[in-house]
Amino acid sequence: MRVLVSVDMEGIAGVVDGEDVSPGHAEYERNRSLITAEANAAVRGVYACDPDAQVLVTEAHGGFRNLLPEQLDRRAELLRGKPKPDGMMAGLADGADAALFIGYHGKAGTPRSVLAHTIHGGVVADVRCEGRSLGEIGLNAALAAHSGVPVVLVSGDDTVAAEAALVAPGIHTVVVKRAIGFYAAALLHPDEACDRIEQEVPKALADREAIQPLRFDGPVLLEVEVLRPNMTERALLIPGIERTDGCTLRYAAPDFPTAYQVTQLIIMLGGI
């Protein structure tokens, strides 16, 4: 069995503030150990299910340089740094039997959700595919599904669990904190969070054929709504992009992977 583990940071137990996930702050340095510990819990869960498994851990937060490589389970391979093909889902091209999302957060605009945003909180108000609003959970699950890879587990706060259930019915969830607000949560002890992740991963992998992640076949109408009109201007240089109102860009993608790539490009240009 080959398993891809995509590891974000905002959904890690203990994290509630921007400083917790931003390099240059003391809390971030402490939380690097916590994110690595939760990744390790997922890796251990995979090997408990299949001792002969191959596990690829791919960084999915910020500059993709957050985990502490020397603390990562030595059986796993780490994809680190950017840019990476497929971004948060780098490693899909190598093939996988399942994917796990560790430390994920809610999409932009989700009430009460800890540090909720979609890809870039300073740029994006919403991303829609075929009219359906999607956050990172939905976008990444759909990209994996396009490659035939089911996302079988996600960890994060309780709003993450609710969002994931809508985009991947049957998905297993591990709630490591209960959201109180954007900057507040009731937290599990980090060790307890790791124990729950490790215990749930084998169950999720065993159920992988029953999980039905969102999938887009054929052309995809992409809409990216940004926060301010000026953030659309550079993106209009992309052939085929049109602006439908002051803050919304639309693109007719031939398939979902192209829509995923164009979303990343729009956000990069909007953030300049």
Active site residues: 117
Beta partners for 230? none
Residue 239, SS3? coil
Q: Which of 172, 266, 174, 260 is nearest to 213 (CA)?
A: 172
CB 73 within 8 A of CB 197: no
End-to-end distance of the chain based on CA atoms, in angstroms? Answer: 41
The amino acid at residue 7 is: V
Q: Rounded distance, CA 8 to CA 21, Å? A: 10
CB 222 within 8 A of CB 132: no
CB 78 within 8 A of CB 25: no
Question: Which two tokens mark 145?
Answer: 């599904």
CB 197 within 8 A of CB 41: yes
Quick count: other Cβ atoms within 10 Å of Cβ 224? Answer: 29
Question: Which two tokens mark 90?
Answer: 């780098």
Q: Rounded distance, CA 131 to CA 133, Å? A: 7
**Scanning the structure block, which residue is given the tokens 């297993």?**
172
